[in-house]
A and B are shown apart, each in its own frame.
Chain A
Amino acid sequence: MSIDIRGLYKRFGNFTALDHIDLKIPAGQLVALLGPSGCGKTTLLRIIAGLETADQGSIWFDGQETGSRHVRERRVGFVFQHYALFQHMTVFENIAFGLRVRPRKQRPSETQIRAKVHELLALIQLEWLAERYPSQLSGGQRQRIALARALAVEPQVLLLDEPFGALDTKVRKELRRWLRRLHDEIHVTSVFVTHDQEEALEVSDQIVVMNHGRIEQIGTPEAVYDTPATPFVYQFLGNINLFHGRAHSGWVRLGGLRVQAPEYQDAQHAPAMAYVRPHDIDLLREPEDSDSTLPATVNRIAILGSLVRLELRQTSDGEIAEVEMTRERFAADPLQIGDLVFVKPRHLRVFLQEEAATEASVPMHWHGDGGGI
């Protein structure tokens, strides 16, 4: 079932939660709504489910308008961040609930319900927990039960609100891989909300990056990470280094660095910002030419498992830059704190100041460590 969202607008008092959202979600895909807290992603999900109503705009499931349909008639599966399992019911009864509350005519027989619940328990590999109560389960188990409960009513659309947000890192990683495998098995159109870029990049077919109630970019994980459309997306997905400078006739000067920027052929001394990912930087012992490298000193070295992260202080203006490299590369030429190095960005994206100022509301030098809040 495809989802088509047209011109969705929602306010809470003075706060604009969604600012004219247009979004098409093709059938059978697993789509991530990614953004910082307060960006409207959960509101969007709840409006799709029918738990919230939009002030303007419409939602279409497979070409049919759903706005007039009550939440209980939309046939959506919803998975809550804190599971929302029925505390006073066993796991079995939790999963059976959606079938048991159907009108008498559509209600399956007791044997059919049993068969369905056991089929779902097998799918989530928790058959042995059928008679337990939610309070006796771990967070990961609870979330899988919540998913089974949502799937019991054979939803046309599966919506997940920060499904792994309340779990610890290890369980979260296991569960998101499991969700991906499950989705490949059952192929129900799924939308999940997350503020964790790593989760979105790993699990989804498409990522919708949101900020301030608007969509910043829609694309595959690869596209969104490699070619961010706006400074915000650049900052939000992965770590960045930010250099300030000026663009002029197709060139950008950033301190001592001069790079080509053909897209700004017409710019005349326009203030510009350049974004570089920490792993897109080479460190040289000797300067290459006068304006393709920046001198800096090594300030800190942190060994993070397979990666080494270096904090550099630029000689020219004292600004901090971060560089990441593999352990092997670091071992090939180990640097010491205080060493003089020359920074050479391999890949750099320039935005003019105006667009950066309007689009990126979080003007940070260095942002996003994969966790979020």
Chain B
Amino acid sequence: MPRNSIQPAVGPETTAIRLPRKRMSKWELYSRRFRRNRPAVAGLVIFAVLVLFAVVAPLLARYDHIELDFLNLGEPPSGEHWLGTTSAGNDTFAQVAIGLQRSLMIAVAVSVGTTVISAVVGTAAAYFSGMFERLTLLLIHFLMVVPTFLLLAMFSNDSGGDWRTISLIMILIGWFFPARVIWTMALSLREREYVHAARYMGVPGMKIVLRHMLPNIGSLLVINFTLGVVAAVMIETGLSFLGFGVKIPDVSLGSLIGSGANTITSAPWLFYFPAAALTLLTVSMALVADGLRDAFDPTSAAGGRA
């Protein structure tokens, strides 16, 4: 789609300045539209800070997240332990940083995986149609009935808490719902002229899917990716909270909240800090997704000049 043909608002005082200026590129347009959405920018900043924290904080921390300080058991936040310690003597600051890192890694891995699989499967099903499409839809509808959370809990309980296995299972169980949405979107794409043209020029089927159809739902995929991060964080937290996810000595935000929940009245800081990190993470990602949706949507009426 020729996005860069969209003109800025024309007014008597703007035309004179506008004439010599270069036309806006697609990305310039997107980023402008994104930046005028203040909550989205705030979300992006918060997210960047969180990522920075997850990367840098373990280097700054005075203690390792599995190191036990037997002189400070269950201490509230102090100068020695910035966010307090657990009853076993773990430094909460280091734990939160590592847990955030782990949760982010799982979330990004899962979201990348589900987005890629669902995009390829969804568009391929729409393009190839016929038998392949029917079989794919049958599989998707079947997976929708299967209680996925239960399977997830069984698999990851069995996997012994390795985050890579957990991510892999979450991808396998999470791809089909977005795939169905993408399939509906791609149905109209397959009737477009450029797809017909490519087909009659003899371009192989998979190449049409990857080179011609996928780029045209790119904006949807980007939004799906951000929302997928939120969903993956939520599911991973739930699993780890129940004890089916990441296991000791590895920590994630979910398992930290889970252990903090037991001492919520006597040692509330063990709950506050991971919970705050988790909420900031999901809310900021949701704000970013919202801003991206406005930025990519040509009919968006969110106000202001593009």
A and B from one complex: no
List B residues at the A interface (Cβ < 8 Å): none
List A residues at the B interface (Cβ < 8 Å): none
